[in-house]
């Protein structure tokens, strides 16, 4: 897989419009890395155009119950107004014509309005206001690691998730929270809540609440069955 050169834009250099990829349950956060398997013609075109341009693609989630969502066409459904722009940092083409790409999260955005489609994919005009801090790494968020890791261990056991605890314990707060938010099996609405949390500290609190709720609900059910 070919890797793109690093790009660290100034906040004022972020573009005002770009393509968006609506995908239920897919969460991209600043500093996170999201692998994607691209196979629909409109998103193959989107990827080619991104590669030829600034390599930016916005990840957004369709709203539950939206018209397109009900018809099974997620790409046409109404979308949440907050998404995250990612830079296409790795790319490979398969023998059957698919693209395997990786997006690295840059900065969240607010959708101002939708623009006319280009080659079948959707484009939006965006507002970056309020998200300038996304471009700066934050190593600490006041996370109480012992309590958090204890709840996380119960959560992993309930969902049958294997974990490298050495890596978890050594990971800085931001990397840990970002990775867990993206890979844990949270519901789409819960992932949107994690995305929209104003700060890393807020996101950590939301995540701990979600994990503790899952442990309380699923854990008590498991105990009752056994």
HEC letters along 98-129: CEEEEEEEEEEEEEEEEEEEECCEEEEEEECC
Distance in angstroms (rounded) separating the CA atoms of residues 146 and 149: 5
Asked if residue 146 has pLDDT above 70, the reply is yes
Distance in angstroms (rounded) separating the CA atoms of residues 1 and 100: 8
What is the pLDDT averaged over residues 91-119? 96
Name the residue with higher pLDDT: 17 or 66: 17
- pLDDT band for position 73 (cuts 50, 70, 90): low
- % residues pLDDT > 90 (the chain): 77
- The reported pTM is 0.87
Asked if residue 39 has pLDDT above 90, the reply is yes
Please give the span between the terminal C-alpha atoms of the chain, in angstroms, as a whole number: 46
Name the residue with higher pLDDT: 91 or 74: 91
């Amino acid at each position: 897989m070919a890797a793109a050169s690093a790009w660290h834009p100034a906040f004022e250099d972020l573009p005002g419009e770009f393509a968006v990829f609506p995908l239920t349950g897919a969460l991209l956060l600043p500093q996170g890395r999201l692998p994607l398997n691209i196979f629909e013609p409109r998103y193959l075109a989107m990827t080619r155009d991104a590669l030829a341009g600034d390599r930016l693609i916005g990840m957004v989630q369709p709203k539950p119950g939206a018209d397109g969502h009900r018809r099974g066409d997620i790409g046409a459904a109404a979308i949440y107004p907050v998404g995250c722009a990612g830079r296409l940092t790795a790319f490979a083409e398969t023998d059957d014509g698919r693209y395997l790409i990786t997006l690295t999260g840059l900065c969240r955005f607010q959708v101002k309005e939708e623009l006319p489609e280009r080659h079948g994919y959707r484009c939006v005009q965006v507002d970056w206001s309020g998200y300038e801090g996304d471009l700066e790494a934050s190593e600490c968020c006041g996370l109480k690691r012992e309590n958090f890791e204890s709840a996380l261990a119960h959560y992993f056991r309930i969902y049958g998730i294997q974990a490298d605890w050495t890596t978890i314990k050594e990971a800085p707060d931001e990397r840990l929270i970002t990775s867990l938010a993206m890979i844990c099996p949270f519901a789409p609405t819960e992932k949107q809540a994690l995305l929209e949390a104003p700060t890393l500290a807020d996101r950590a609190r939301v995540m701990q609440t979600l994990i503790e709720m899952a442990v309380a609900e699923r854990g008590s059910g498991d105990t009752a069955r056994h």
